[in-house]
Amino acid sequence: MAKKQLNVGLIGYQFMGKAHSNAYRQVNRFFDLPAQINMHTICGRNEAAVTAAAETMGWANVETDWRKVVANPEIDIIDISTPGNLHAEIAIEAAKAGKAVWCEKPIGNTLPEAKAMLDAVQAAGVPNAVFHNYRKAPAVALVKKMIEEGKLGTIYHFRAVYLQDWIADPNFPLVWRLQKEIAGSGTHGDINAHIIDLARHLVGEFDEVCGHLHTFIKQRPIAGAINDKLGAEATSEMGEVTVDDAAMFLAKFKNGALGTFEASRFAVGRKNKNSFEINGSKGSVVFNLEKMNELEYYNAEDPEGYQGFRLIQATEAVHPYAGQFWPVGHIIGYEHTFVNLVADAVTAMCAGTPISPDFVDGYENQRVLDAVEVSSENRGWVSL
Ligand code: SOE
């Protein structure tokens, strides 16, 4: 029987556009899915740039007006990989047009935007997903399985950092991620969002938060031409940084666990260190994206004198996703987390079940982000 065809319209072609395009190209080659992903149209304002991207990344059609992609009856899925200020408008239009809406994180730049997006996809009854890709790393999926099997017992602590250093140079230009009106927030919405999602996925819902958002460098050179690796040319004119450079907060979870979260773009030497440790009554785990195929595991029930953190290589066929790619020990990378997410999303869409993570996750994530911002402004604990 011929496979169902799913035509994707991708809005955005820089870093996330590139990561998503790779996932669309690869997913049917590594997963036996109930539908075939077709890279139908890629969209961006700069016609020359998006035409080049289409050729490089393998898209059949090019568009410079996202509204035409949303209105195209051939398109089944709208993938929103633009800066955050466009997410809500595109998602709401796409939902009204009956399209599945897959959106980069965080889904909105504000809590009201996120709520409007959630309402739109629920009102339209369309499949929806948010690209919290780190849930799909085999080692993280293994932690989820271990917790569900009770291997860590009662969870006491979720301790996470997401550390980068790409703007520690004061001369790094004022790119869109450093402008509130485009990005919504800085480090907080960009990468705290990821460790908040992992906390919700692995530990549970948040009850109270207390945080601080901080900006080290207040002025930067205005950005010129951008590239697809977060950077841009610096001009001679200076501009105001309107977002946080670092965001830290404490958390109490509804199930009694405690959390500490630290996101920074000034952790000099840390390039993309997304790492968490979970301590439970029966043991602990440590995940570090810098060594994303490994999981440190301490089993408190090992015999006395033989206890210690062991290293699990999450590359065996028994580990989630790992067997889809290579034999045991042949490690996978950052890009495979997106392939895994797309595979799960296609499977869920065809089964008519909710995609994990979806806009409910995106909205709940935004509630935590917002509560931390309120806490930082009011210098006190905020309940969710
Ligand atoms: C920049 O901080 C960034 O590209 C984030 O936007 C992504 O979500 C993260 O996965 C990698 O770093």
Give residue for tokens 């927030």: 185
Count Cα atoms within 13 angstroms, Cβ side, for 187: 28
Residue span of the structural domain in which 345 resides? 137-355+363-383
Phi, psi dihedrals of residue 82, rounded to the nearest 5° = -95, 170
**Ligand 1 atom index nearest CA of 187:** 2
My answer on whether 239 and 292 are in the same domain is: yes
Give residue for tokens 């979260």: 261
Q: In this model, does residue 113 exceed pLDDT 80?
A: yes
Mean pLDDT of 218-227: 88
CA 195 to chain centre: 9
My answer on whether 20 and 162 are in the same domain is: no
Mean pLDDT of 102-110: 98
Mean pLDDT of 2-6: 91
The domain total for the chain is 2
Mean pLDDT of 173-184: 94
**Residue 281, number of CB atoms within 10 A of its CB:** 11
My answer on whether 338 and 213 are in the same domain is: yes
Pocket, ligand 1, Cβ cutoff 6 A: 15, 164, 190-191, 230, 272
My answer on whether 151 and 120 are in the same domain is: no
Nearest CA residue ID for atom 1, ligand 1 = 190
Query: Residue 348 and residue 31: Cα distance in Å, rounded?
Result: 14
The last residue of one of the domains, among 71, 101, 133, is 133
Q: In this model, does residue 288 exceed pLDDT 70?
A: yes
The last residue of one of the domains, among 133, 153, 187, is 133
Q: In this model, does residue 226 exceed pLDDT 80?
A: no
The CATH number that applies at residue 367 is: 3.30.360.10
**Ligand 1 atom index nearest CA of 190:** 6
My answer on whether 104 and 176 are in the same domain is: no
Reported confidence tier of residue 372, pLDDT bands at 50, 70, 90: very high
- What is the total residue count of the chain? 384
C-alpha 327 – ligand 1 centre gap (Å): 29
My answer on whether 99 and 189 are in the same domain is: no
Mean pLDDT of 1-27: 95
My answer on whether 75 and 115 are in the same domain is: yes
My answer on whether 167 and 141 are in the same domain is: yes
Per-residue pLDDT tens over the stretch 339-368: 999 999 999 999 999 999 999 999 999 999
Are 144 and 115 a contacting pair, CB within 8 Å? no
Pairing of strands 155-163, 77-80: unpaired
My answer on whether 120 and 190 are in the same domain is: no
Per-residue pLDDT tens over the stretch 128-164: 999 999 999 999 999 999 999 999 999 999 999 999 9
Picking from 256, 245, 253, the residue whose alpha carbon sits closest to that of residue 220 is: 245
pLDDT at 228: 64
Query: Residue 270 and residue 254: Cα distance in Å, rounded?
Result: 31
pLDDT at 335: 98
C-alpha 21 – ligand 1 centre gap (Å): 16
The CATH number that applies at residue 44 is: 3.40.50.720
Mean pLDDT of 231-247: 92
Per-residue pLDDT tens over the stretch 60-69: 999 999 999 9
C-alpha 272 – ligand 1 centre gap (Å): 8
Percent of the chain with pLDDT over 70: 99
My answer on whether 168 and 115 are in the same domain is: no
Query: Which of 128-132, 174-178, 292-296 has the least mean pLDDT?
Result: 174-178
Structure tokens at 6: 């799913």
Pocket test for ligand 1, best of 272, 274, 334 (most atoms within 8 A of CB): 272
The last residue of one of the domains, among 103, 133, 163, is 133
C-alpha 99 – ligand 1 centre gap (Å): 26
Query: Residue 382 and residue 355: Cα distance in Å, rounded?
Result: 30
Helices (H) and strands (E) in the chain, counts: 11, 17
Reported confidence tier of residue 280, pLDDT bands at 50, 70, 90: very high
Nearest CA residue ID for atom 9, ligand 1 = 191
C-alpha 194 – ligand 1 centre gap (Å): 9
**Ligand 1 atom index nearest CA of 194:** 8
Mean pLDDT of 73-91: 98
C-alpha 150 – ligand 1 centre gap (Å): 31
